[in-house]
Structure 1
């Protein structure tokens, strides 16, 4: 396959209203043309709070989602995984402490964006161990959780959560994958793709899991993705989009900023031979990592919010990324 040039347009949104505090390691989802932000940190490792912020993508106005049952909202947590399914935002794991691994949880919370109610779910089955800096996405009537950091080290496990029964099911393991934090997880059809992450070094490997057959395989490329972690990821048709991310870790751990990218890459999973660097136009964001991205099916755009900058300042800007396919 030839490396067909890809072009994408970045656009910075001019928002108004009570803009959320700058943050990294937060959750970010899109539900019914609204973007929701939850958790994260403004100071290194310190959970920022439990407030849910909502941005109407039509009016570009921020509001605070005041919960109907504030006593049921989660404790402040950082580095949780967040995914959208139906009207609800699901939040799994994360940590409430400051030191790495301190206060890790394996609790599943759900916030109904229509009723503005929090619930703590009573789950059963093979419940994953507590973790942070993992990833989660929705596929069908289930959520899939991969990897992250536990008190025992970095993980490479995959779990399925059925939202109809609140039942966990551990998926087959694949020892080829090194345990990692900050990986990307995307779905094309019934296949999950684990992309990159940090396993003591920035990674660029890609592994595919067929959710119907429950089988793994590793992909190889003529042109690989430059190694990175804690980046934005989404899928559109057969394409997996990767934007920004950390490309070289900080020598100060989580206290300092690493080297970040603002590049974008696309993989066509129907002919997965080359990661293609995207030519970007418009309001290209400054390099960043430690953020979340969410894809809007209505607009066919990938949105990113906040993250950590090269100056170690937590950001609160929001951009859309539209791939010209």
Structure 2
């Protein structure tokens, strides 16, 4: 049983952003590369790594200059290894997609699924294929699908629920969508879902929103168009069982009300709690961090704020409850992007996670030891895999 002192120490880990330096791997020169500043990229996380895919930066020098064949886009996959705090550009085989801005990405086992997105100019070369990268074997493949595919779009949101991939919204660059599509990952058949609501009862067309789910409903959070952002005092929810949209009134924070309307924000989910961070409301870049419960629909503002207000950034959460935020636009007037990486615990770290982080800080050379020796020291196979 956890003592009160241990519980207090665990709670101290919460709601504090920590900037990560992305130091070079042990034994390598200090000139080791980290991902250049970018926006419009996506990231996913497992217990061991953060994977960052794609992105955009119109600044020629910041985006790698002549070394970046895909300027102003980034046709690359990066991996941030938690145990060593190091970045590696992943060299992959197969065909990596060329729609590299405002695509959607989810991690399904060892498979990174990427859908949609746009090339340059925005809206002129959109995608509607599902590309899969097996992060273990570092190989891309195209998922051969049948049925009614979504239009070629970007800025949509997607999630995997019970073996189905759901895709909602997005834009062609000219037309904003309220379409909802479902891909059966077993049969690989797309279906364009036709909810039972009258047309005036559908969510507003949008892009750069985020979605969450509880297994029965898909919740649409924020988003907008190039000229407006949608409020969060109500959220639309698609009921998977009744094939219909519902409108849910959310409950404001008792002192400061609702989060500001926003688009281009980030969103992660831990069980029935959903966290949104940053974004843009049409006037200012936001830095706030909010939580909504999918059981009570109560909004809570967390005390932490992003060290760099950002939008078009990406965020992902580990199974243990630690959120990582990377990149984004940080200055509208100068159109400036960042390559910063931050972490914050959104759930109370377990004693295992606390001990693991302490061990890694005390013994930074641990990853250099062979697996056999690590096992002899008492590390479990799961922890050894995290190191390697």
Normalized against structure 2, the TM-score is what?
0.73
Of Structure 1 and Structure 2, the greater helix share is in 2
Q: 1:47 touches 1:96 (CA, 8 Å); kept in 2?
A: no
Residue-by-residue CA offset, 1:46-101 (whole Å, 9 max, x unaligned): 652321111111211111111133xx222252221111111011111111221x31
1:40 paired residue among 55, 61, 69:
55
Change (3 A) 1:64 1:324: closer
Cα separation, partners in 2 of 1:289 and 1:151, compared to 1, 3 Å: closer
Where relative contact order (Cα < 8 A, 6+ residues apart) is larger, the structure is: 1
Match of 2:127 among 90, 93, 105: 105
- Give runs of aligned pairs for residues 70-219 of structure 1, distance below 5 A: 72-75=95-98, 77-98=100-121, 100-151=122-173, 153-173=175-195, 175=199, 176-199=202-225, 200-205=227-232, 206-219=235-248
Deviation of the 1:191 alpha carbon: 2.3
Gapped regions of structure 1 (runs ≥ 5): 1-6, 250-258
- Flag as ranges the 4+ runs of structure 1 deviating above 6 A: none
Q: SS state of the match for residue 211, structure 2?
A: strand
| Secondary structure, aligned partner of 1:41 | coil
> What SS does the corresponding residue of 2:250 show, helix, strand or coil?
coil
Matches for 1:283-294 after TM superposition, within 5 Å: 284-294=306-316
Deviation, structure 1 residue 197: 0.5
Once the 2 structures are TM-superposed, how far is the Cα of residue 132 of structure 1 from its aligned partner? 0.9
Q: Which residue of 2 aligns with 1:252?
A: none
1:50-61 correspondence runs (5 A): 50-61=75-86
Distance (whole Å) between structure 2 residues aligned to residue 238 and residue 134 of structure 1: 22
Aligned to 1:255: none
Q: How many residues align?
A: 303
* Alpha-carbon separation, structure 1, partners of 2:344 and 2:243: 32
Question: In structure 2, what is the equivalent of residue 9 of structure 1?
Answer: 16
Larger radius of gyration: 2
Task: Give the CA RMSD over aligned residues.
Answer: 2.1
Cα separation, 1, equivalents of 2:50 and 2:147? 31
CA contact (8 A) 1:30 1:84 kept: yes
The structure with the largest strand share of the pair is 1
- CA shift at 1:32, angstroms? 4.3
Q: Is the 8 A contact 2:230 2:263 kept in 1?
A: yes
